[in-house]
Structure 1
Amino acid sequence: MRTRATLAVFLISLLAAGCGGGREPAADRAPEGTSGSSPRAGTTQGMETTQASTLATATVTLVPSDGGEPVEVRAEIADDDAERTRGLMERTALAEEAGMLFVFGRERTLSFWMRNTLIPLSIAYIDAEGRIVDIEDMEPLDDQTKHPSAEPAKYALEVNQGFFGERGIEVGDRVEGLPAGPRP
């Protein structure tokens, strides 16, 4: 019985530790000129989480290049080191039309992983002009597989796995409503 209790405490400690927020270490991803990580006012209406969130949100619109129906996503904005490192880790669900938009200071090869991330996700890498340059599916709790962008990107949009494919969103499509960059 004592062994079970010790194991349970150990597993809970691992989950609580975080260790990277399902992303590359911040030093590998931090944009030039990013300042501190003070909390921001905002709403996460429609975001199902296991923790309180103070991230601002924005609605971005995915526009298919084939003339298909545009798709709106209500996205939490992660635009500083602490927010990008935390990402969607330890959340148990994400609302259907919701996601997280990671904003970087400049285009470069971005790379994400799924450490401590409990839900299957799809990620779209987006260049500075708003063009989707890569889309990948990522499996929960996979801290071994890294998912680098196929081309330099300034943004990454995470949504529930399969979201892009189910709505006909592909590489080459555009994203409107992106913030200009991380907050100063």
Structure 2
Amino acid sequence: MRTLKVLLLLFSLATALFTAPVFAQQNIGLQSIELKVGIYRIQAELADSPKAREIGLMNRTSMASNSGMLFIFEQKAGHCFWMNNTKIPLSIAFLADDGKIVNIEEMQADTTNNHCPKVAVRYALEMNKQWFSDRVLVPGTVIQGLPKIR
């Protein structure tokens, strides 16, 4: 019985050691910017590299109310998103170059359904689920403060 307890303890410690870096590395080195939409301010982490876009908001268990993640792509395309290993439900707004919301999708946590823009875009903004609808922000609304793409 004692051997079993020791093994369980070792397993728990090993699990903690191997999963902790995943949580810790997610926002290390990510810049953030302030975006504006009407009276609202958004503190958005920038996912502007292939690695940052790949990790996105995976494995996080919460996000502050007016915080989000802005995905920036070099090329306009039909960049689709899914929620594999993403623990919190999110809303995503696909944005035109001028900041206009093209379309908004609600995304369930930990699913592999594709969520795609209706037209080719370079920007996508993920916020907590229903953030946009709770503030009556709809397609055509302009998000200000998008960084210029080089």
The alignment's TM-score, normalised by the length of structure 1, stands at 0.67
Gaps of 5+ in 1: 17-49, 64-69
CA contact (8 A) 1:130 1:174 kept: yes
Query: Which structure has greater helix proportion?
Result: 2
CA contact (8 A) 1:90 1:118 kept: yes
**Are 2:115 and 1:147 aligned?**
yes
**Are 2:72 and 1:103 aligned?**
yes
Q: Which has the higher contact order (CA 8 A, sep 6+)?
A: 1
Deviation digits for residues 112-157 of structure 1 (CA, Å, limit 9, x no counterpart): 00010000000000011111001000011102x1111111111000
**Are 2:40 and 1:71 aligned?**
yes
Q: Which has the larger radius of gyration?
A: 2
Identity %: 35
Size of the aligned set, in residue pairs, is 134
**Are 2:90 and 1:121 aligned?**
yes
Detail structure 1 runs of 4+ shifted over 3 Å in the superposition: none
| Aligned-partner SS, 2:143 | strand
| Aligned-partner SS, 1:175 | coil
Gaps of 5+ in 2: none
Alpha-carbon offset, residue 106 of structure 1: 2.5
The alignment's TM-score, normalised by the length of structure 2, stands at 0.82
Spell out the pairing of 1:17-166 with structure 2 (5 A cutoff): 50-52=23-25, 53=27, 54-63=29-38, 70-143=39-112, 145-166=113-134
RMSD between aligned alpha carbons?
2.1
